Structure 1
């Protein structure tokens, strides 16, 4: 009997960014122009048995550059730059949050990257999904929410 070893995926998404963003049936109606607008959003996440947030996160959406997302913000870990991709067809985003070393909480901010995969929830009017983090100290994944708070720029 052969045994197959599956590597530990904790803290790592099962699908690549492109596969996640494009791997869903398209929405029947195009509502992307009202969702993917440059603005300040509120982000929330769940870690260590508690909710964290809201934290301001500025996001810009660039369809002319291949549906790129770019922005940044601050949270209880530190200051970060955020980059990624999105799909107006599936209403999904795959983001990478890169913390700037020396900002925020020195115990938590290792200058690391956090992967985020979210999709639009029409009923809750927010993006919902997961964050994934793998550092030398720990591996984790849990709930991540991005909500439009009405501040366009």
Structure 2
């Protein structure tokens, strides 16, 4: 007796059918494994690069009523582990000729530098936050990068969006907010 059923498979047609069933089963298992690996790999990664996100034609705005890209002291907060962290202060400088932004700050993970791009045509910012290993919380600060993608919320007068982290020890993403506290010219 065969383990496949009540009768033994003796002819070529039966063997071919069993072989096809085996290949389909192996293909299904391979597909499930491939999907699992893809989901693990893509978790903590944004769907678009910073350049693509910032310049997306789908986000073009009709007109800009004010300059929300002001150099100064900004407050940020992020959502992780079912709670908001922050606000934390960040010093940001916007270069209106190159449409780049850079700065630094400190949060509950550690000290970091920040650099990125922005567009007045889309009212979006794309940032890379690079943590300085050895600062802050040694269990959280891996000296890693966090990608941040934000768009302007007119009614709240702040940038909102998501942060993304993908390291060998952690991967995830969630909400992020950035709000201007005071410009450098206001501080003079």
Question: TM-score with structure 2 length normalisation?
Answer: 0.75
Compute the displacement of 1:67 (Å). 0.7
Runs of 4+ in 1 over 6 A off after TM superposition: none
Residue 121 of structure 1 corresponds to 153
Q: Distance in 1 between matches of 2:91 and 2:65?
A: 20
Q: Distance in 1 between matches of 2:82 and 2:165?
A: 16
Residue 138 of structure 2 corresponds to 106
Q: Which runs of 5+ in 1 are unaligned?
A: none
Deviations 1:13-72 (A, max 9, x none): 00111110011342222235x2001011000000111110000011111122x2111001
Compute the displacement of 1:105 (Å). 0.6
1:30 paired residue among 64, 79, 99? 64
Question: TM-score with structure 1 length normalisation?
Answer: 0.92
Highest CA radius of gyration, 1 or 2? 2
Higher helix share: 2
Residue 140 of structure 1 corresponds to 172
Q: CA RMSD in A?
A: 1.7
Higher strand share: 1
Compute the displacement of 1:114 (Å). 0.3
**Higher-RCO chain (CA-CA 8 Å, sequence separation at least 6):** 1
